[in-house]
Amino acid sequence: MTLAPPVSSPRRLLARGRGGAGALAFLLPLLLVFGLFSWWPIVRTIVMSFQETNLVEPATWVGLDNFRNVLGDPLLLTAIRNTVYFALLAFVFGYPVPLVMAVIMSDVRRMKGLYTALAYLPVVVPPAVAVLLWRVFYEPSPDGVFNTVLGWIGIGPVPWLESTNAVMPSLVLEATWAAAGGTVIIYLAALVSVPAELYDAAEVDGAGILRKIRYVTLPHLRGIMLITLILQIIGTAQVFLEPYLFTDGGPDNSSLTVLLLIYNYAFGSTTGNSSYGDATALSLLLAGTLAILSLIYFRVTRSWSDS
């Protein structure tokens, strides 16, 4: 016997329609605020990239001239090279640090909360204060903090921020210290979900600490590690604070990054005159490049995260 589908009464349909209208009424202000402060600046940036304007006088439509100026600037290749170098250093030296710290802290039985707070403390420090603190550490004279420590083992003073070879590793070291705490908290939260029975079984099989990490911990953290990796790639590609506050792109443009070049376009730190059109054009090129890299990354790692 087949039952007919229930027929909704007009009163019920009217009540359901009123509920949808009420939800839309509550949602509309949020959508307006989100569109005003999120989507409208994006649209304005796209339009400005085809204009020449000083944000005061009426804008002049210049077409693709801003993109030609940016792509023809010899400093662009320098900024791209420095940004890629920064990202590679951050990946090799900075990416494993939060994972190692989280694994070690997860095995701590006493004062675990204190260690967690100390690991997260650099994130709480305002970035400008952190840079001022590390500038003292990077004092190039023999009396500097780091150079004093190196002097104890017979190594001469290092010009941390004045050397074209040492400046980028120095920036990566400070950036890793400043940002590692947040990733440590993420890894610690993920480690809680690893079943303790797996560690017990691995211990029964005679596995040491390294084999436990390789065959138990890392497989369960694979998805989180892939997410933190793409976030780090996006973050390092947009590095600005450290090269701006430490060196302003020096010495000899060895710490000039893409985002710092955008800033220089907008406020004329390098050319002596500002070009908001060039700045927005390079911003769009950077955003498009990151979007393409993110899409490729997620397609390549989709099978890894599912397995």
pLDDT digits (tens, 9 = 90+) for 66-111: 999 999 999 999 999 999 999 999 999 889 899 888 888 887 778 8
pLDDT greater than 50 at residue 14: no
Helix, strand, or coil (residue 98): helix
The model carries a pTM of 0.83
Which of the two residues, 205 and 82, has the higher pLDDT score? 82
Does one domain contain both 24 and 79?
no
The pLDDT score that the predictor gives to residue 6 is 53
The pLDDT score that the predictor gives to residue 13 is 46
Mean pLDDT of 248-268: 90
Does one domain contain both 117 and 223?
yes
Range of the domain at 31: 10-48
Task: Please state, for a pLDDT cut of 90, what percent of the chain lies above it.
Answer: 30
User: Is the CB of residue 226 less than 8 Å from the CB of residue 301?
Assistant: yes
Does one domain contain both 125 and 41?
no
The pLDDT score that the predictor gives to residue 288 is 92
Does one domain contain both 144 and 283?
yes
Q: Assess if residue 78 is contained within a domain.
A: yes
The pLDDT score that the predictor gives to residue 10 is 54
Measured CA to CA, the distance from residue 87 to residue 79 in angstroms comes to 12
CA dist 3 → 6, 10, 13 (Å):
9, 21, 21
User: Is the CB of residue 131 less than 8 Å from the CB of residue 243?
Assistant: no
Q: Assess if residue 203 is contained within a domain.
A: yes
Does one domain contain both 18 and 100?
no
The pLDDT score that the predictor gives to residue 256 is 94
Output DSSP code: residue 257.
Answer: -
Does one domain contain both 118 and 93?
yes
pLDDT greater than 60 at residue 9: no
The pLDDT score that the predictor gives to residue 18 is 56
Does one domain contain both 120 and 178?
yes
Question: Pairing state of beta strands 51-52 and 60-61?
Answer: antiparallel
When divided into structural domains, the chain yields a total of: 2
Does one domain contain both 44 and 159?
no
